Amino acid sequence: MNLTLKVWRQNGPQDKGRIETYPAAGIPEHCSFLEMLDIVNEKIINDGGEPIHFDHDCREGICGMCSLTINGVPHGQERGTTTCQVHMRKFRDGDTIWIEPFRAHAFPVIRDLIVDRNAFDRIVAAGGYIDVRTGSAVDANAIPIKKDDAESAFDAAACIGCGACVAACPNASAMLFVSAKVSHLAHLPQGQPEREKRALAMVRQMDSEGFGNCTNHYECEAACPKEISVDHIALLNRDYSKAVLAEQFV
Ligand code: FES
């Protein structure tokens, strides 16, 4: 396949950035999107240029590191797919592909297509954990959990923290991410003692990081590579409201 790439290049956080054009010639249709960028980078390096910087780690849809906006959509058009799992056979010979970083005020560009997503780590550090001493692992059957709750917890736990929800939202809201982390623990017995405290701390940290509010566009759910439902946001809103009320009566 022969393609034309329009790629966002930015030397650092202070640089204005610009789109540059690169030919991507002789790309095998069975290679992945990131492998296609590897091929393009090899040519850039051989020609004495600076390779395109982009994030990746597992390349298996697990780690959440890859973070490209492909033709205006975080992780591209394919539903439930991370950038690293996008394959070139989904494009047509002669296509022009626009590649940009995940864009959000709270995700400043570090270089080219790499953004700083440490804000997510700080949100999790604010409350996305179990503080109680849990001891050694108990037998799985010792704490019965209803099937619906187990499935909801598992669905929420599938969040890989990639940030596509933020990049897709017109408000750059992190509500889907935060709600997945809160909901995961809220559906399990171990998450109950700190449930409200957790919602309060994580939402406050999210606000302080500069993420926007949720106004029900549902773009986050559409872009999420793990197809996490906005239903978790409803749970987060309930827990957060209860926590705010409880705080006022303490
Ligand atoms: S590189 Fe790990 S999810 Fe894409």
Q: Where in the chain is the domain with CATH 1.10.1060.10?
A: 117-248
- pLDDT at residue 70 in the model: 98
The rounded Å distance from CA 84 to ligand 1 centre is 5
The rounded Å distance from CA 152 to ligand 1 centre is 23
> Residue 225 above 80 pLDDT?
yes
Asked if residues 173 and 166 have their Cβ atoms less than 8 Å apart, the reply is yes
* Cα 15 to Cα 68: distance, rounded to the nearest angstrom: 19
DSSP string over 100-146:
EE---TTS-EEETTEE--HHHHHHHHHH-S--S---SPPPTTSS---
The rounded Å distance from CA 60 to ligand 1 centre is 6
Average pLDDT over residues 52-73: 97
pLDDT tens, position by position, 182-196: 999 999 998 999 999
Please give the CATH topology (third level) of the domain spanning 3-111: Ubiquitin-like (UB roll) (3.10.20)
Closest by CA position to 106, among listed 11, 212, 15: 212
Q: Where in the chain is the domain with CATH 3.10.20.30?
A: 3-111
pLDDT tens, position by position, 33-44: 999 999 999 999
- pLDDT at residue 249 in the model: 83
Atom of ligand 1 nearest to the CA of 82: 4
pLDDT tens, position by position, 78-113: 999 999 999 999 999 999 999 999 999 999 999 999
CATH 1.10.3720.10 fits 117-248, yes or no: no
Q: Please provide the average confidence, as pLDDT, over all residues in the chain.
A: 96
Atom of ligand 1 nearest to the CA of 63: 2
- For ligand 1, residues with CB inside 6 Å are 56-59, 61-66, 82-84
**134 vs 154, residue with greater confidence:** 154
